[in-house]
């Protein structure tokens, strides 16, 4: 058993090159047994690049309102209180709505495979 109080030991907020706009990642659990957990704050309009997860991903929206889009589908609105299951290998992006911030906890299972930046019309 391991208890993590708020964020990973020696954790610090960081920005990443796999996001368009401003987003801050707080690592809660660094890669452990193929699982990573991070709390992510997205400024309005910020979003991840296209990506997929080897064994899936769980998103729990903590505050604000955002969008998630599986490849080949229209973006869907997500908001505080929502939990999203992204199946293994499903290409998708997620982030804040254009007029709202969003904070979520991302539980990523297995390797994350990053792809290209999302086009403005996506």
pLDDT tens for each residue of 52-90: 999 999 999 999 999 999 999 999 999 999 999 999 999
Rounded to the nearest integer, the mean pLDDT of the chain is: 92
Q: pLDDT band for position 2 (50/70/90)?
A: confident
Q: pLDDT band for position 28 (50/70/90)?
A: confident
Q: How far apart are the C-alpha atoms of 12 and 53, rounded to whole Å?
A: 24
Of the two residues 72 and 5, the one the predictor is more confident about is 72
Domains in the chain, ordered, with CATH?
27-114 (2.60.120.10)
Q: For residue 29, what pLDDT is reported?
A: 82
Sign of CA dihedral 27, 66, 46, 116: positive
Q: For residue 10, what pLDDT is reported?
A: 63
Whether 113 and 76 have beta carbons less than 8 Å apart is answered as no
pTM over cut 0.95: no
Kindly give the residue spans of alpha helices, DSSP state H, lying in 1-122. Answer: none
Of the two residues 27 and 52, the one the predictor is more confident about is 52
- Kindly state the DSSP code that residue 6 receives in the 8-state scheme: S
Q: For residue 7, what pLDDT is reported?
A: 66
Mean of the pLDDT values across residues 26-53?
93
């Amino acid at each position: 058993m391991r208890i993590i109080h708020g964020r990973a030991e020696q954790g610090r907020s960081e920005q990443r090159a796999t996001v368009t706009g401003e987003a801050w990642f707080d690592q809660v659990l660094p890669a452990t047994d193929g699982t990573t957990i991070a709390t992510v704050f997205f400024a309005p309009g910020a979003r991840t690049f296209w990506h997929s997860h080897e064994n899936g991903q769980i998103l729990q929206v903590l505050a604000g309102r955002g969008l998630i889009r599986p490849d080949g589908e229209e973006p869907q609105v997500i908001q505080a209180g929502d939990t999203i299951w992204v199946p293994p290998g499903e290409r998708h992006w997620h982030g804040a709505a254009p007029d709202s911030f969003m904070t979520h906890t991302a539980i990523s299972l297995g390797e994350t495979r990053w792809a290209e930046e999302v086009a403005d019309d996506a």
